[in-house]
Structure 1
Amino acid sequence: MVCALGAAVCFGTATVLQAMATRTVDTGRGGEAALFLRAVRQWRYLAGLALDGLGFLFQVAALRSVPIYAVGAALASSLAVTAVVAARLLRVRLTGTEWGAVGVVCAGLAMLGVASGTEGDRGGPAALEYAMLATAVAVLLLGLSGGRLPERGRALLLGLGAGFGFGVVEVAVRLIDSLAPSDLLANPAAYALLLGGGAAFLSLTSALQRGSVTTATAGMVIGETVGPALVGVVWLGDRTREGLAWLAVLGFLVAVAGALALARFGEVTKEVTQEGLEEAPEPADLGNVPSSADPRP
């Protein structure tokens, strides 16, 4: 659980650091690719990428030790980390309700920490690996067709797709038993992990560029927590401590609800940061470049 919380801290802090880096970049010419190349020259952006990598390692360690439902809720709490760090570094003014949501997330995670048992010891049905791979392909197709989806509901659909993609990563980590190259090449879960992470990021990027940040992030939180949690309980044997199933369910719901209340911090864009930037030395203009709201591979 400590690893899961460490991953949330890494991901949430990385979002803010990358947002700060993009604020200092001249938009200039050359499109989004050129803007990204200018951003990666900033030390804050590179530090954010390093935190993304460290967070992924923490995520893998957590998924090998505690149930998926606990890890998923903890990762969703990275929005609370982003909110707190943004309030400090980006001068974003959090409302009383948002501070309350941060407290709700912490309370939910505390309940999960008390109630969570160890990870399940079942490998699931043989078809589960192929189901994860098929889901990853579906998310990829969804992300590639983002611009052709109906405008109404597009952000929510793409956000849900991104959540499912990140959920594939969570489940696939549990389905990989051996890291030997020959075993990885023969395991569909390994391909699902790589394809699911890339497809999820593509879908999330499209969602944030083409629709409401809050709607897209809310869809992502739901997609990456509920589905993987059910897979872990039904097929992988995830359980709670004896007699504390009710506390685990309550903690999960409370943590996810708190994260949804902080969904606007899923992407630290100009609209989010503008509230508190009057005192900043430079104006914020992040354009449409994502700050890797949930950059997990």
Structure 2
Amino acid sequence: MICALASAVCFGTASVLQAVAARAAAAPGDGAGVDPALLLRALRQWRYVAGLALDGLGFVFQIIALRSLPIYAVGAALAASLAVTAVVAARLLQVRLSGTEWGAVGVVCAGLGMLGLASGAEGDQVGSTALRWAMLGAALFVLLAGAAAGRLPEKPRALVLGLGAGCGFGVVEVTVRLVDDVAPSALVANPAVYALLLGGGSAFLLLTSALQRGSVTTATAGMVLGETIGPALVGVVWLGDRTRDGLGWLAVAGFAVAVAGALALARFGEAPAVEIPGPDPERVG
């Protein structure tokens, strides 16, 4: 659980840096579609690169957590990264949090505490070959659906982009558990490895587009739902994730409370834009 929370801290801080960089990288006249060039421009921003470094560290913590905890516990902890984003934005970017939002931060922490008490060990099932191929198909579907979402009107576009990004991250959560042999020959033959790479890459692309276009609050809410509910069900149904004896109700309640608190903080999926210094118009004149 410590590693899961450390991962949330890394991802939450990275979100502030990446959101600012994505806005700064937007070129005049950009369309509404999913634009891979936007990701390339964002990579020229030091904030985005720093965010990626934090994402990499968070991913390491996430892998460690997924090797010891059920997916539903790790997924809820990752959703709690929005609470971290809210606190970091309040500190570094002078964003004012309302009393309700501070309460939502407390609700997220309470939900995670309930999950920590109720979570059992990770499931002992390794997952079938069919599940591995299904994850690869899901990752491909996320990429194609996200590309098509760029042509939708603004409101549904933001929701679909965010939901697609969340599903991509959810694919990563599940496939980490499906990679049980790290020998090079086994990795090459395992469809889950390709699902992990495709799902993670698609999620980053869709999330970057969502941060730059449309309602990021709606997109972030979709992302939270996509990266928590589906993977949690896969872990329980197909990978054997369970709770401690007699505490299933507490795990369900903690999961619901943590995700609800994260949804209340969805607007912090987008950090406020910062002004980039430019030439003084009067001096230029």
TM-score, normalised with respect to structure 1: 0.84
Please state whether the residue corresponding to 1:73 is helix, strand or coil.
helix
Give the equivalent residue in structure 2 for 1:50: 53
> Partners of 1:22 and 1:204 in 2: how far apart?
10
> Deviation at 1:203?
2.1
- Of 137, 144, 157, which residue of structure 1 is paired with 2:140? 137
Identity score, percent: 74
Task: Name the SS of the counterpart of 2:255 in structure 1.
Answer: helix
Match of 1:8 in 2: 8
> What amino acid does structure 1 have at the position aligned with 2:86?
A
Structure 1 distance, partners of 2:202, 2:64, is: 22
Q: Deviation of residue 140 (structure 1)?
A: 0.7
- Note if 1:173 corresponds to 2:179: no
1:152 shift after superposition: 4.2
What TM-score results when the alignment is normalised by the length of structure 2? 0.87
1:208 paired residue number = 211
Q: Tell me how far 1:14 sits from its aligned partner.
A: 1.9
Query: What letter is aligned with 2:42?
Result: F
SS in 1 for 2:245: coil
- Pairwise CA distance, 1:13: 1.4
Return the match for 1:255 from 254, 258, 265: 258
Opposite residue 221 of structure 1, the aligned amino acid is V
CA distance in 2, matches of 1:165, 1:28: 26
Uncovered stretches (5+) of structure 1, i.e. residues with no partner: 271-282, 287-297
Question: Structure 2: which 5+ runs fail to align?
Answer: 31-36, 278-285
Aligned mates of 1:48, 1:93 — CA distance in 2: 22
SS of 2:150 mapped into structure 1: helix
**RMSD of aligned Cα (Å):** 2.4
Q: Deviations over 1:79-121 (max 9, x none)?
A: 0001001101100000000000000000000000000000000
Per-residue CA deviations over 1:164-217 (Å, capped at 9, x if unaligned) read 111000000000101111000000000000000111122223333332111110
Query: In 2, distance between residues paired with 1:103 and 1:28?
Result: 38
Match in the other structure for 1:127: 130
Partner of 2:240: 237
- Verify: 1:246 aligned to 2:249, yes or no: yes
In the alignment of these two chains, the number of paired residues is 270
Conserved? CA contact 1:155–1:208, under 8 Å = no
Counterpart of 2:275? 284
Report the Cα offset of residue 61 of structure 1: 0.6
What is the CA-CA distance between 1:36 and the residue it aligns to? 2.6
